[in-house]
Copies of this chain bind each other. A is one copy, B any other.
Amino acid sequence: MADLGSGLVKRILVIGAAGMIGRKLVARLAAQGGAELIQHDVVPFEGASAVSDLSTPGEAEKLIAARPELIFHLAAVVSGEAEADFEKGYRVNLDGTRQLFEAIRLAGEGYRPKVVFTSSIAVFGAPFPDAIGDEFLNAPLTSYGTQKAIGELLLSDYSRRGFFDGIGIRLPTICVRPGKPNKAASGFFSGILREPLAGQEAVLPVPETVRHWFASPRAAIGFLLHAAALDTRRLGDRRNLSMPGLSATVGEQIEALRGVAGEKAARLIRREPDPAIMRIVEGWPRNFDARRALELGFRADASFDDIIRFHLEDEAQKKSASPLPARA
């Protein structure tokens, strides 16, 4: 067990530290203090301890040279890119993960770190039950989901064999994702909140009846820290967990936006139906029964109002340009 407060964790390795979740996690760990942070990503970034491609032979060995007691493995080629570039997706998401796991196994000398792996609800593929439970088949419909499902299987087997102490957490779609709009098919779920909150227009490509599964960045960081501190003996041999989230329709998202930021903000959403995006979104999970994670103490956001307020609070610190005040 990696008790972050106990002083037993002297070094923490964050792989994928330059990503949105990585940066927020590092900020939180740095604020807590008490452990040396080793920050890694494939792109150069402020605070980097190492910049390299995890899938290049030998790189994983270097990253664990200081024998970090706790490792967060967040690095991945995202869904759209893994679909567009088959070889890159398998190289980074499968081979990179396997090389990290192999480096730990081969380190020997009793080295047995805690490994927190971010998986995804993309390990599931339609058709779904009304709420996806903890025993539902992993039948991904993307190469990204396939690579994450394989990472989960490896994590379980390496943990069962005693090579490390792993836990995989399947994150809901993160909302509100800060920063610029991106071209991910899921981008509009954040865009229809983030842009109007900043006084900008946003495009909604699907009907308001579309339902999806969400967590705020703040909840996601909470999942990671809770996973790191969790006694994995409570998991048994099933080391991968669907995280609790908030199941909401686009209409409910907009209602929350209206409640927090007023009708003027809601009017900035422009409906532009896009059949291509609708087809992709139809294959995505809508709702989960995350009973196991809840029993293990993982906590979802309480409401979409909270998700929007957390966004305003967390992002307002960084840029004062936000035209709307945060309500606590």
Report A's interface with B, CB cutoff 8 A: 86, 125, 129, 134-141, 143, 146, 149-150, 153-154, 156-157, 160-161, 237-238
Copies in the complex: 2
Apart from A137-B137, A140-B156, 11 more pairs, CB < 8 Å: A135-B137, A137-B138, A138-B138, A138-B153, A140-B153, A140-B157, A141-B160, A146-B156, A149-B153, A150-B153, A150-B154
Assess the A154–B146 pair: CB atoms within 8 A: yes
CA distance A160 to B125 in the complex (A): 12
CB distance from A181 to the nearest CB of B (A): 28
* Least Cβ–Cβ distance between A274 and chain B, in angstroms: 23
Q: Are A156 and B139 in contact (CB under 8 A)?
A: yes
Query: What residues of chain B lie closer than 8 Å to A135, measured between beta carbons?
Result: 129, 136-137
- Alpha-carbon distance between A136 and B136 when the two chains are bound, in angstroms: 5
Kindly list chain B residues whose C-beta atoms are within 8 Å of the C-beta of A136: 135, 137
Cα(A157)–Cα(B141), bound, Å: 7
- Nearest CB in chain B: distance from A33 CB, A: 37
CA distance A143 to B136 in the complex (A): 21
Name the one of B134, B140, B143, B157 contacting A146, with C-beta atoms under 8 angstroms. B157
